[in-house]
Chains A and B, each alone.
Chain A
Amino acid sequence: MEKNLIEVDIKVPNQTRYLSLIGRIGEDIAKEVDKYAGDRETLAYHLNLVLTEAMANAIKYARAGDPDTMVHIFINISPEEILIKVYDKGQGFDINTIPAPNFEKLEDRGRGIFIIRSLMDSVSYRKIRCGNVLEMSKKLKK
């Protein structure tokens, strides 16, 4: 195995009470990134946030009325980048049709994907065989 490669693979019930657990894992991972030149506290906050947003999104779009549905989260950290995949078994949505928030109009909702896009370098959401995957990555500053 390549040096300093970390993989975290976790499944949690699709309930919002597990958001803080997933967020904390993101924060702890930021502390394990080797030789990170940027601000580590900010990286920790951002990983907590994108994981919270992605999981909340997966819960929202998960199959309604199925209490056994799990959210599957995969995190891979290499010296160059952090890659996060969040799987859901819901009907999904087209990420390209989600507009950026209208800052002049005060909406209660619609900032989650914008936040993820703002904090990560690449974001995609696509259908897979039994559901969907939200994939996002962030290059690590050296």
Chain B
Amino acid sequence: MNLKTEEKNNIVVIFVKEERLDAHNSGELKVEMQRLFVEGKKNVLVDLYEVRFIDSSGLGALVSGFKNAISNQGNLKLSSLQPQVKSMFELTRLHRVFEIFPSAPDALENF
């Protein structure tokens, strides 16, 4: 899976450079988020600008990361959701769980 990670002001930004986040590749994102929290990172932003498609496994990986953040007294936020991806968060009511920002710079100002 193609992930680009940058750190800015103590916030780790994971840019998911994949068109699909599904049962084939979402496990890798889950492991990467887990690794960051185990390393002691507190604030993680997942940017989904390039993701055009997400399935229940992709949503599940993000939920897992969110729970991991909470149990490590950290934060996991999301940015740049494409309309169809956003509609999946709404269908599964996860838009009420995550803090979602229009872009990565918007999210970085709100940690």
The interface of chain A, by Cβ under 8 A from chain B, is: 16-17, 19-20, 23, 41-42, 45, 48-49, 52-53, 56, 59, 101, 103, 106-112, 114-115, 118
By the criterion CB–CB under 8 Å, are A103 and B53 in contact? Answer: no
Q: Which residues of B contact A109 (CB under 8 A)?
A: 56, 60
By the criterion CB–CB under 8 Å, are A52 and B66 in contact? Answer: no
Q: Which residues of B contact A110 (CB under 8 A)?
A: 56
Chain A binding site: helix, strand, loop or mixed by DSSP?
helix
Residue of B nearest to A51 (CB): B55
Q: Taking each of B57, B59, B93, which has the highest tally of chain A beta carbons within 10 Å of its own beta carbon?
A: B57
By the criterion CB–CB under 8 Å, are B20 and A23 in contact? Answer: yes
Residue of B nearest to A18 (CB): B24
Residue of A nearest to B23 (CB): A56
Q: Which residues of B contact A48 (CB under 8 A)?
A: 53
A20 touching B92 in the complex, CB below 8 Å, given contacts A56-B55, A106-B66, A112-B55? no
Chain B binding site: helix, strand, loop or mixed by DSSP?
helix
The interface of chain B, by Cβ under 8 A from chain A, is: 20, 22-24, 53, 55-57, 59-61, 63-64, 66-67, 84, 87-88, 91-93, 96-97
- Smallest Cβ distance from A83 to chain B, in angstroms? 21
Bound form: Cα–Cα A96–B24 in Å: 26
Bound form: Cα–Cα A108–B97 in Å: 13
- Contact pick for B22, options A56, A106, A114, CB 8 Å: A56
- Smallest Cβ distance from A134 to chain B, in angstroms? 14
Q: Taking each of B22, B56, B64, which has the highest tally of chain A beta carbons within 10 Å of its own beta carbon?
A: B56
By the criterion CB–CB under 8 Å, are A108 and B20 in contact? Answer: no
By the criterion CB–CB under 8 Å, are A111 and B24 in contact? Answer: no
Q: Which residues of B contact A53 (CB under 8 A)?
A: 55-56
By the criterion CB–CB under 8 Å, are B24 and A16 in contact? Answer: yes
By the criterion CB–CB under 8 Å, are B84 and A16 in contact? Answer: no
User: Could you jot down 10 A-B contacts, CB within 8 Å?
Assistant: A19-B20, A20-B24, A48-B53, A56-B22, A56-B56, A107-B63, A108-B61, A109-B56, A110-B56, A111-B92
Bound form: Cα–Cα A56–B53 in Å: 15
Q: Which residues of A contact B22 (CB under 8 A)?
A: 16, 19-20, 23, 52, 56
By the criterion CB–CB under 8 Å, are A17 and B20 in contact? Answer: no
